[in-house]
Amino acid sequence: MKKSALQIARAAYQPKLPVTLTGAVKAVEGAPTQSVADQDDIKKLFPNTYGMPELRFEKNPSPAPGKPFNVGVILSGGQAPGGHNVICGLFDGIKKINKDSRLYGFLMGPGGLVDHQYKELTSDIIDEYRNTGGFDIIGSGRTKLEKKEQFDKGLEILKQLDIKALVIIGGDDSNTNAAVLAEYYKNIGAGVQVIGCPKTIDGDLKNEVVEASFGFDTATKVYSELIGNIQRDCFSAKKYWHFIKLMGRSASHIALECALQTQPNVCIISEEVEAKNQTLQDVVDYIAGIVAARAKQGNNFGTVLIPEGLIEFIPAMKSLIAELNDLLAKTPDFAQKSTAEQREFLSANLSKANAETFISLPEGVARQLTLDRDPHGNVQVSLIETEKLLSEMVGRRLAKMKAEGSYDGKFSALHHFFGYEGRCAAPSNFDADYCYALGYNAACLINAGVTGYISSLRNLTKPSVQWLAGGVPISMMFNMERRHGEMKPVIQKALVRLDGTPFQRFAAKRDDWAINTQYVFPGPIQYFGPAEVCDQPTLTLHYEHLDK
């Protein structure tokens, strides 16, 4: 593979480990844990891995010689910057414990475990992927590990390769699957540990014990650069309104972070829309009001940031989508029906209120709501062109305002969706360090003999050498939610807290940003230079630490 000058330079970067992990460590147990909700239900489902203590690592002044062991690793779900460094840290970690330890990567996600597709990851392979973006070292996939037959089939290859532990690198659903797998293997005495690592650029896998999911830092910096470039163009041409949809199906963390970084004229926060019980028309009226106010100053241009999952947070739409998810899960032949038959079927089988909402939607949007679900049973909101829907509705509202004499400007909209552009970028210094430490920390958890834990690093606003390392039981992050028409244990998603400092900082400034053009142009990610330029975490993480 031909390498760019940046790739060659980045290959030489040595991620900075927390001081605690730079030598032999010992695990120190904290207090027993319980799930964030539905404790009785979760305890019944996880009798062998519920209530385990939090762990923190400390230096071990008198370590015993480490024995060699084999480890398997899986990249699960969508890509996120830094995944390769997790694997590199895991590799270096197990080799540090014993140079004869071996690492096997299962190919194309969890499906590789079930189908026995794998390759051994040697130092020659690992060294080619240090500090690089993407998941191409072994590939990723979205196969759900949830059936006994899958667990048993996976165990066959784990036993064949004499694998002691399996590390699953993924988001909330993937780590939920990791916990289920850990419980099953412990229940049957399989002798295989399962460890998770928190990944998702959406930023919704975090809580008091997992301060950040990896990839969020890099992705939001990439998006912020692009938004800044658009805003510079917007300010130069002074004739377009740019409607920019950003990734974030279940939470608005990406949109909020990018707004804090770039100071756009409008940023919609889905959680606020839901809390205020706003309708789609309320959102449209809000944007149109800002467009009109700027037009009075002669500014017929601006930027609007829209979270990918906005539609699901509008109460009427959320109710419709939830019922659609349940109904379509029970109607396997739905896709074979014609468009007319589908609309007729849904109109007849949805509740009255949801049927009325569905019928009122433009045909294109209604069709997008009924497309194939993702493997977790959710509507694929990235396929819903919310940015175009909003700009079209804003245009209609402005035309009405012009007829009423309350608007006298020009409105021309351009559309963007930033998603894949940020998922495989070369990791920022923060993500390079964080991911390497997560993998190295996972090796320490394996050596401690635990299962059903997620690799955890805290104190993340400090320099990486001061981070605190350890692990927390995945089960403590669980609650019960309806999936595919049934109640299932899942990791509780972290939404934007409207009373949190990140949102409050945004809310205090947005009216000023709306009318007065105060764009910020962050520029590209910097890898070499002073720490205040290259090593800063996200503003979200910085502000969240002010709450503690």
Do the beta carbons of residue 541 and residue 461 sit within 8 Å? yes
| HEC per residue, 484-541 | CCEEEEEECCCCCCCCCHHHHHHHHHHHHHHHCCCCCCCCCCCCCCCHHHHCCCCHHH
- CA-CA-CA-CA dihedral for 305, 306, 308, 311, to nearest 10: 180
Residues 77, 199 contacting (CB under 8 angstroms):
yes
State the Cα–Cα distance between residues 130 and 132, nearest whole angstrom. Answer: 6
Question: What secondary structure does DSSP assign to 308-341, as a single string?
Answer: TTHHHHSHHHHHHHHHHHHHHHT-TTGGGS-HHH
Residue whose token pair is 């979200």: 540
One-letter amino acid identity for 66? G
Distance CA 374, CA 246 (A): 18
Active site residues: 202
**Under a CB-based contact definition with an 8 Å cutoff, are residues 265 and 294 in contact?**
yes
- Length of the chain, please? 548
Helix (H, G, I), strand (E, B) or coil at 67: coil
Eight-state DSSP code of residue 448: T
The amino acid at 223: Y
- Calculate the alpha carbon distances from 525 to 149, 217, 220, 224, 428 in Å: 45, 10, 10, 10, 7
208: DSSP letter = S
